Amino acid sequence: MGSRNIIIVFLLLCSSPLFAQFKLDVESGVVFGTNYNKVRIPNVGGTEVNLAEDLSIDPKIFYRIRGTYTFGKRHNISALYAPLSVKYNGAFGKDVSFNGLTYQSGQPLQVFYKFNSYRLTYRYDIVAKTRWRVGLGLTAKIRDADVRFKNESQDTHFDNIGFVPLVNFYASYKPSYRWSVILEGDALAAKQGRAEDVFAGLAYQINPKFSVKAGYRVVEGGADTDEVYNFNWINYASVGVLLTL
């Protein structure tokens, strides 16, 4: 077989959905509350506060984008960009020491909380049937976090960038041709902290290349290190589109 024919066969294999497929998952919605968001910086010497209880949160639109390349029917490589920033307003009922500064009781302030996530995932689908698809994998996550306290006279922040390994899981069931039930996420717990990012919802297939989804997402976890203590639980109302290219 000549080199030209080899190239043609290779291109046909790569373009066939039996061998390779690219999917784009674009998700958005509203951050409608935090069950808790406990912060103490520094961990030794700082004052622990619960932003979700002590202050009020502004409603926030979020978005996240995931691209997934599937090959050999069962192997999946995906990249996720998931930025998140919320703002709290109000006043603490006690003096609060944060990042070396003291914020007086009853003094109005704003707290800006950022928790951006960048992830690279490999997942192997143990079950890959018409109705069921179940897979497990590993995720490498880069966490880009920042907490900022600001009032009329003081403004300070603490940022933290770190690597977090996670276990990835995915399960979907199709009770009919157009409908799917989906449960997916990344999670892991260790001595220094834990992280869970889980979505549960429904997807409706409009045509073979376009679907819509809706559901509930929760992000929970945090870190307990020498520098920082922060654990949060954030709730999302989520909608999205799934494109197969």
pLDDT digits (tens, 9 = 90+) for 88-130: 999 999 999 999 999 999 999 999 999 999 999 999 999 999 9
Predicted pLDDT of residue 6? 45
Measured distance CA(244)–CA(190) in Å, rounded: 36
- Beta carbons within 8 Å of 153's beta carbon, 6+ residues apart: none
Please tell me the predicted confidence (pLDDT) of residue 126: 97
Q: Let me know: does 194 contact 214? Beta carbons within 8 Å.
A: no
Measured CA angle at 147 (ends 144, 149), to 5 deg: 160
Percent of the chain's residues with pLDDT above 70: 92
How does pLDDT run across 137-153, given as a tens digit for each residue? 999 999 999 999 999 99
Mean pLDDT score, 60-78: 95
> Which pLDDT does position 9 carry in this prediction?
45
Angle, CA 223 vertex, CA 217 and CA 228 arms, to 5° = 130
The Cα–Cα gap between 104 and 21 comes to 56
Question: For 36-62, what is the mean pLDDT?
Answer: 93
- pLDDT (0 to 100) of residue 34: 80
Residue whose token pair is 């046909």: 12
Pseudo-torsion of CA 47, 53, 57, 60, nearest 10°?
100
pLDDT at 18: 52
Q: Can you give the pLDDT at residue 32?
A: 75
Phi, psi of 154 (to 5 degrees): -135, 150
Structure token pair of residue 30: 């509203």
* pLDDT for residue 132 is more than 90: yes
The answer on pLDDT for 82 being more than 90 is yes
CB contact at 8 A, 221 and 211:
no
pLDDT of residue 226: 87
CA-to-CA dists, residue 191 to 65, 188, 194, 224, angstroms: 30, 11, 8, 8
Domains of the chain from N-terminus onward: 19-244 (2.40.128.90)
Mean pLDDT across 78-96:
95
Predicted confidence at residue 12, as pLDDT, reads: 47
Q: Which pLDDT does position 4 carry in this prediction?
A: 55
Rounded to whole angstroms, the Cα distance separating 127 from 214 reads: 24
Whether 17 and 70 have beta carbons less than 8 Å apart is answered as no
Mean pLDDT taken over the chain = 91
Give the pLDDT score at 157.
Answer: 96
* 5: pLDDT strictly greater than 80: no
Residue 184 scores a pLDDT above 80:
yes
Predicted TM-score (pTM) of the model is 0.86
